[in-house]
């Protein structure tokens, strides 16, 4: 494991002598543009293990992405190796099916302190909830990014992340009423406290989310990669290319079905993912909106 291999994987060729915000923003953006958010191991009969060497071999040396317990755990190692003041936190994701935050901390994020200011780095939320760059941890401040305007709201020491996006437009009439398309312009993403978390805090939930038959991740195979103009997503056999059009106040969702025979080629061409084991594409009726 070394930083040079990681930087090559994300296409970062700059200097990291300065532990400043500009460098953090750059590697954060390069990571999300290069390494997909995906849970495909679950649907290939593979076990997802929170072991840094295993993750490094899979994500950096292999042709894979991962979910937050892989990507953000790896990113925390990268930041610490670089010398950033980094603390790992756990967050509870907002569940639209219950209109509330989940009871468990099912998402791993990182807090970074630079020149006395705190920032939240998260390279693995995926889809439309993905931040392009770290967000300053300050309540009420509107922080515009490519995908919309993000803001933190702090109440009773609980930090909530909210996003205001744009109107969605779906040209393919077959998907005009798709349950996958998020149509709420303002929505809550997740919430967290500032209590530090060690990696073992997430071991059980990392296992539960890949084995529980009611889990989103056992019911849907998901692969998503951020692009300069939006993001791509593959949920089951539904492939989407989302294009941000801020000048028009709209996000364009180009959605189509692909076949099992096309799956391997789409994963490689659109996500640079090559699987070692055969995947079963899954898209059962569990709520997921992107």
Q: What positions carry a catalytic annotation?
A: 68, 107, 122
Would residue 116 be called left, alpha or beta, if left means φ above 0 and alpha means ψ between -120 and 50 degrees? Answer: left
Q: What are the distances in angstroms from CA 108 to CA 47, 140, 221, 268? A: 18, 22, 20, 27
Sheet holding 222-227, edge to edge: 37-38, 222-227, 230-235, 238-245, 250-257, 167-169
């Amino acid at each position: 494991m070394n930083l040079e291999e990681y930087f090559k994987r994300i296409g970062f060729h700059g200097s990291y002598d300065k532990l400043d915000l500009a460098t953090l923003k750059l590697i954060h953006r390069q990571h999300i543009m290069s390494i997909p958010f995906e849970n495909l191991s679950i649907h290939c009969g593979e076990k997802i293990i929170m072991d840094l060497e295993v993750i490094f071999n899979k994500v950096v040396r292999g042709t894979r992405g991962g979910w937050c317990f892989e990507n953000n755990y790896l990113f925390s190692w990268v930041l610490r190796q670089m010398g950033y003041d980094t603390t790992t936190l756990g967050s509870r994701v907002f569940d639209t099916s219950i209109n509330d935050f989940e009871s468990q901390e099912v998402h791993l994020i990182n807090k970074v302190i630079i020149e006395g200011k705190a920032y939240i780095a998260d390279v693995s939320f995926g889809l439309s909830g993905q931040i392009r760059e770290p967000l300053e941890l300050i309540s009420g401040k509107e922080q515009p990014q490519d995908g919309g305007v993000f803001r933190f709201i702090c109440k009773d020491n609980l930090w909530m992340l909210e996003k205001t996006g744009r109107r969605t437009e779906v040209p393919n009439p077959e998907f005009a009423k798709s349950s996958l398309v998020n149509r709420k312009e303002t929505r809550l993403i997740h919430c967290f406290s500032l209590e530090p978390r060690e990696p073992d805090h997430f071991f059980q939930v990392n296992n539960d989310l890949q084995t529980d038959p009611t889990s989103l991740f056992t019911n849907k195979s998901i692969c998503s990669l951020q692009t300069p103009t939006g993001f791509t997503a593959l949920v089951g056999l539904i492939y989407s290319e989302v294009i941000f059009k801020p000048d028009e106040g709209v996000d364009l969702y180009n959605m189509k079905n692909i076949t099992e025979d096309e799956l391997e080629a789409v994963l490689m061409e659109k996500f640079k993912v090559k699987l070692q084991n055969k995947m079963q594409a899954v898209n059962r009726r569990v709520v997921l909106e992107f």
